[in-house]
Amino acid sequence: MIEIDAARIDGELVRGLIAEQFPAWAHLPVSPVPRGGNDHRMFRLGDALSVRLPSAPGYVPQVAKEQRWLPHLAPALPLPIPTVRAEGRPSPAFPAPWSIYGWIEGDPVVDGRTGSDEHWAADLADFLVALRGIDARGGPEPGLHSGYRGGPLAHYDDETARIVPRVSGRERDVARGLWRDALDASFDGPPVWVHGDVSANNLLSRDKRLGAVVDFGCSAVGDPACDTVIAWTFFEGAAAGIFQRELAVDDATCVRGRGWALWKALLMLGSAHSAQVVEARRVLARLFAEA
């Protein structure tokens, strides 16, 4: 099994890999990208490139998947997504494959007011509708590489049963009901492309509009319910309604999406980071209020 020490993934390592495998770019400065992700570490390379390395063995399969499929997806999408510029090889310095991408201009979404922006909601819905419409033949089926996004919620049934007691009283009963409803709302449509991790962390803002969608590590071909989660975790008020309407999925898909949102929020309740716990409680309060 590949062993990766995430603590050793730093600018010095990246500079060494570039010098070893892509010497034409060895003169370019390397700097870490803040909020560059959890599954991968990202560094800016000069002005026009970025380097992305998996941070643990479980994320290694995402590298080849993105390299294979991002060029297939990009031409049919209305917004920029990462463009593969070079494919890094495993080496004694770093034992896994890695990628060099084109740098996408834009600012990470850190302003919560964006979640109330109706234009943002419509832009993201249009993007996901276009993604669903791309030819999915031969695409990657859900699995470990996607965190089982695009697959049946039942994969997380045992785990959810263990973490539901993180809430109590009426909330526990409501959570169990939401989860049962999500399991019962089975997916019987054709498999479609899903991003798998549609969150504010993976959206870039440009000129106060949605400018790009990044990080396709959890992408797969399957059930689109996981891509509806942002309706409860990010969008507010009229924007949430516009997103759900323009996304044009059926009620059962939204019910499964609530299940995905519930599972993730319950997981975050066990986080050691207080900000994640606060966010989890906010999402849970919204889910419970709708029940």
Do 164 and 281 have their domain in common? Answer: yes
- DSSP SS3 for 135: coil
Do 113 and 36 have their domain in common? Answer: no
CATH number, domain with residue 159? 3.90.1200.10
Do 171 and 38 have their domain in common? Answer: no
- What is the chain's alpha carbon radius of gyration, rounded to the nearest angstrom? 19
pLDDT at 112 over 60: no
pLDDT at 113 over 70: no
> Please, what is the average pLDDT of the chain?
95
Do 164 and 91 have their domain in common? Answer: no
Do 79 and 140 have their domain in common? Answer: no
**Burial profile 20-52: b = 16 or more Cβ within 10 angstroms, e = fewer:** ebbeebeeeebeeeeebbebbbbbbbeeebbbb
pLDDT at 221 over 70: yes
pLDDT value for 151: 98
pLDDT value for 156: 98
Q: How many domains does the chain have?
A: 2
Do 92 and 155 have their domain in common? Answer: no
Q: Which domain holds residue 152?
A: 107-290
CA distance 288 to 262: 9
Q: Which of 76, 102, 128 is where one domain is finished?
A: 102
Do 271 and 226 have their domain in common? Answer: yes
Whether 1 is covered by a domain: the verdict is no
pLDDT tens by residue, 168-212: 999 999 999 999 999 999 999 999 999 999 999 899 998 888 999
**Given the structure tokens 């039942």, which residue do they identify?**
154
Do 129 and 270 have their domain in common? Answer: yes
Whether 217 is covered by a domain: the verdict is yes
pLDDT at 1 over 90: no
CATH number, domain with residue 24? 3.30.200.20
DSSP 226-240: GGGTHHHHT--HHHH
pLDDT above 70 covers what percent of the chain?
A: 98
The mean pLDDT of 35-43, rounded to a whole number, is 86
Do 135 and 243 have their domain in common? Answer: yes
pLDDT tens by residue, 40-70: 999 999 999 999 999 999 999 999 999 999 9
pTM assigned to the model: 0.94
Whether 20 is covered by a domain: the verdict is yes
CA distance 63 to 244: 31
pLDDT at 2 over 90: no
Residue 55, C-beta contacts closer than 8 angstroms, at least 6 positions apart: 4, 6, 9, 38, 39, 40, 41
